[in-house]
Amino acid sequence: MEKIVNSNLKTEEYFINMGPQHPATHGVLRLILTIDGEIIKNVEPDLGYIHRSIEKMCERDSYQQIVHLTDRMDYLSAHINNEAVCLVVENALNLEVTDRVKVIRTIIAELTRISSHCLWWGVMGMDIGALTTYFYAFRDREMINDIFEETCGARLTMNYNMPGGLMFDIHPNFIKRTKEFIAHFKTKIPEYDRLLTGNIIFQKRTKGIGVLTREKAISYGASGPVARASGFASDVRKRHPYSAYDRVEFNQALSTEGDCFARYSVRIQEMWESMSIIEQLIDNIPEGEYQTKTNAVIKLPKGEYYQRVETARGEFGVYILSTGTKSPYRLKFRSPGFSNISLLNEIIVGGKIGDLVATMATIDIVVPDIDR
């Protein structure tokens, strides 16, 4: 059968809007695509639909109030964002928190990471077209939400951290329920693998798509699983350890291919590593106080402070310039999603719209984190 090609067909590029309301953009993100047929020529993100001027608000709030604003940014790693602000305040005041606080913060941070990756996995399958994964992921995530509700008081934006320690001590059921969850979830990840990872359609849609080289990852400021899938060992828990990460052993999930499937495998591997960290800490929580006294009005001494933590999306940084008053003079949040979204144009040009959806799913952005 001969192929009939009409070589006189005139084509032209056109602009198409993806978003701001779109099921695959994970939030209110508008992408202005320039496409020729189905091949993408240019992607320009249009941000600002959920910009709430958090940095300006922080210039008039007290430090305890700032902690409450941080978990509205990347709400899937809410506890880790709170921890960043608490750590920068504690380091500036030279305040030592007890070992009990450090270990509990680390355990809850790793549970948050598993919860965020669980939701990411469910949504990743849904974007590619496998709707079942969404229900499986949310069913397992409910167990973590219930643990948080019992101990911290809220399911998503916990605000369990405060400068100096924790708001309340852990609930008596916390250790038992966490161990039950770990035992349950260890049987679930193989189920996830059977459902999605080995599926030939999924592999064809993700292997070789959206390749990011290591040099580009460093130049674009990528961090988190996006960078680790390209061979850039960016884990802040290893480069600049904080809380209890210097006393546990875990591997950094790395890959060298840099395509969508590599980013997927890195996150699945991170879920196993997080469970391993929790297992090393859950039986040996040290005794002690859950809170160290601070003044009611916290004033940081004059100077500049920077603290970074590893959220589920990458490196989150807090920069504070203080002039000695009760609010910071300038506070800047370095958000991982902002740097990760800037490399979208680089890696997707020449691909199809379906590739764009798969790449956006593996970059795993949360738009309130970008817009702040």
Give the binding site for other proteins (CB under 8 A): 47-48, 51, 53, 55-56, 216, 218-221, 223, 232, 239, 302-306, 308, 315, 317, 319, 321, 330, 332, 334, 338-339, 341-343, 346, 371
Which one, 31 or 118, has the nearer CB to other proteins? 31
* Of 38 and 215, CB closest to other proteins: 215
By beta-carbon proximity to other proteins, the closer residue of 217 and 298 is 217
Q: Around Cβ 261, how many Cβ atoms within 10 Å? A: 23
Q: Which is nearer to other proteins, 140 or 371 (CB)?
A: 371
Report the phi/psi class of residue 165: left, alpha or beta, with left for phi > 0 and alpha for psi in -120 to 50: left
Which residue type sits at 166? L
- 290: Cα within 13 Å, side-chain hemisphere: 12
CB of 16 to other proteins, least distance (A): 19
Q: How far is CA 269 from the centre of its chain?
A: 15
The 3-class secondary structure across 228-297, one letter per residue, is HCCCCCCCHHHHCCCCCHHHCCCCCCCCCCCCHHHHHHHHHHHHHHHHHHHHHHHCCCCCCCCECCCCCC
Q: Is the alpha carbon torsion for 151, 58, 80, 313 positive or negative?
A: positive
What one-letter code names the amino acid at 168? F
Comparison of 112 and 223: residue with beta carbon closer to other proteins: 223
Measured CA to CA in angstroms, residue 301 lies from 243, 352, 361 at distances of: 22, 53, 42
CB-nearer residue toward other proteins: 125 or 314:
314
Torsion of CA 345, 346, 349, 350, to 10 degrees: -170
Nearest-approach distance from CB 359 to other proteins, in angstroms: 17
**Alpha carbons 39 and 53: distance in angstroms, whole number:** 36
Q: How far is the CB of 322 from other proteins (least distance, A)?
A: 11
Beta partners for 307?
318
For 231, residues 6+ apart whose C-beta sits below 8 A from its C-beta are 214, 217, 254, 255, 256, 258
CB of 346 to other proteins, least distance (A): 8
* Least Cβ distance, residue 302 to other proteins (angstroms): 8
CB 323 within 8 A of CB 347: no
Which residue's CB is nearer to other proteins, number 176 or number 302?
Answer: 302
Nearest CB to other proteins, comparing residues 143 and 348: 348
Shortest distance (Å) from residue 46 CB to other proteins: 9
Q: Is 179 helix (H, G, I), strand (E, B) or coil?
A: helix
